[in-house]
Amino acid sequence: MSHAEVWNWERQDWPEFRYDRIKVDPLEAEFLRRAGEFIGAVKHVGDDDKQRLTVDLISEEALNTSEIEGEILNRESLQSSIRRNFGLATDNRRIPPAEQGISEMRVDLYRNFDVPLSDGLLFRWHQMLMNGRRDLRDVGRYRTGSSPMQIVSGPLHEPRVHFEAPPAARMQIEMSRFINWFNQSAPVGKSPLAPLTRAGIAHLYFVTIHPFDDGNGRIARALAEKAISQCLGQPALIALSHVINGRRKAYYDALEHANKRNETTDWLEYFAHTIVEAQRSAQRMVDFLIAKMKFFDRFRGQFNERQEKVISRMFREGPGGFQGGLSAENYLRITGTSRATATRDLHDLVEKGAFVREGALKSTRYRLSIQKSTLTSG
């Protein structure tokens, strides 16, 4: 793309984002209704289980927000680090710097969602995210380099510029204005905005400025969650990054489309739909985790060590479970036991009502006996 076409921040109307409220309002109403249902569902969960839910949802988001940027983290290390940050019992494993950093940042977002935005808060988040990085000049401060900050793809000899951010010299002015807008648009601010509108603009506005050398996407998604949490008056716990990660191309296409002008209706519609889908996904995860807790309560002490190992592995697959169900071969691979013992174990699990058997002979598959109705609602 030639730079004959100007970016949104180069236009006269920057940063006056315009949008058609009529197109976003129905999604705002659906979001608030679903938020009420989610809060109601979580109220039925005991304190210990609520802690487990919170750790699972935060670690899932930490995993996905990093994966969107091409960084693959270890789920067990993330969960252990998040538990440690909450002061809960852990397995005392050594946590790698990347997992430790994103965990600290996500727990800080959860605990301090109502704290007004400031340079200091953003610098702290950035330092957490860049934990262990030695390749960046500017950590815990806005970028200072003279080279253009560009998002590019394609070969080196003919790169395609998807976006170019404002120069580093403008960072303090741009960020002062952004922080002021974010705080003024909060429910307690002078110009409050509806939750999805505020979250969508916050994300787009922040990534347009691109104030850091790295970590801008992760911080932008965290700011969207902070905006939503402030509007709800409690941590949102939505699966935003989980949904975006599943449809990364649509996310980057929507951002690229939005960075050329300041009429943002298309972007806000896309982002509002994404947040509502993120609510549905979080609700499915909550339903699944509640079903998991009920399952273990129902069968406590009834499984041998091999069965426990396989069932835990199946639950780790999440609401979707094993693709096509668990086979006897899966059971053999996970446990390393003999075929006769595996057959006996599987028969026992079906007899107890823990597994449901489907198919016959080599096509026989096993699924966990949990309520499917709660996992497919909404």
- pTM, two decimals, is 0.86
| Helix ranges, the chain (H) | 21-43, 47-68, 75-85, 97-111, 119-129, 171-184, 195-209, 216-232, 240-246, 248-258, 265-298, 305-316, 328-335, 339-352, 372-375
Over residues 94-123, the mean pLDDT reads: 97
Token pair listed for 95: 């946590």
Give me the pLDDT at residue 376, please: 42
My answer on whether 238 and 307 are in the same domain is no
As a whole-number percent, the residues of the chain with pLDDT over 90 amount to 79
Structure tokens at 232: 């709800």
Supply the pLDDT for residue 286.
81
Q: Are residues 182 and 317 in the same domain?
A: no
Among 33-42, 319-328, 353-362, which stretch is predicted with the lowest mean pLDDT?
Answer: 319-328
Same domain, 199 and 255: yes
176 shares its domain with 324: no
Domain that holds residue 334: 302-375
When pLDDT is averaged across residues 225-247 and rounded to a whole number, the result is 96
Query: Cβ of 337: how many Cβ atoms within 10 Å?
Result: 16
Residue 200 has pLDDT above 60, yes or no: yes
State the Cα–Cα distance between residues 40 and 310, nearest whole angstrom. 32
Q: How many residues does this entry show for the chain?
A: 378
Which CATH number do you get for residue 367? Answer: 1.10.10.10
Q: What is the mean pLDDT of the chain?
A: 92
Do 122 and 28 lie in a common domain?
yes
Residues 312 and 175 in one domain: no
pLDDT of residue 373: 42
In a domain? residue 66: yes
Asked if 62 and 135 sit in the same domain, the reply is: yes
Same-domain pairing of 31 and 105: yes
CATH number at residue 203: 1.10.3290.10
> pLDDT tens, 293-321?
889 889 999 999 999 999 999 988 877 67
How many domains is the chain partitioned into structurally? 2
The larger pLDDT score, comparing residue 140 to residue 159, is at 140
Residue 10 β-bridge partners:
none
- Alpha-carbon gap, residue 327 to 331, rounded angstroms: 7
| Terminal-to-terminal C-alpha distance of the chain | 41
Burial class (CB in 10 A: 0-12, 13-18, 19+), 83: buried
- Residue 67 included in any domain: yes
Q: Taking 60 as the threshold, does the pLDDT of residue 118 lie above it?
A: yes
Q: Are residues 320 and 284 in the same domain?
A: no
Enter the tokens of residue 39: 């809060």
| Nearest residue to 241 via CA among 21, 71, 34, 25 | 71
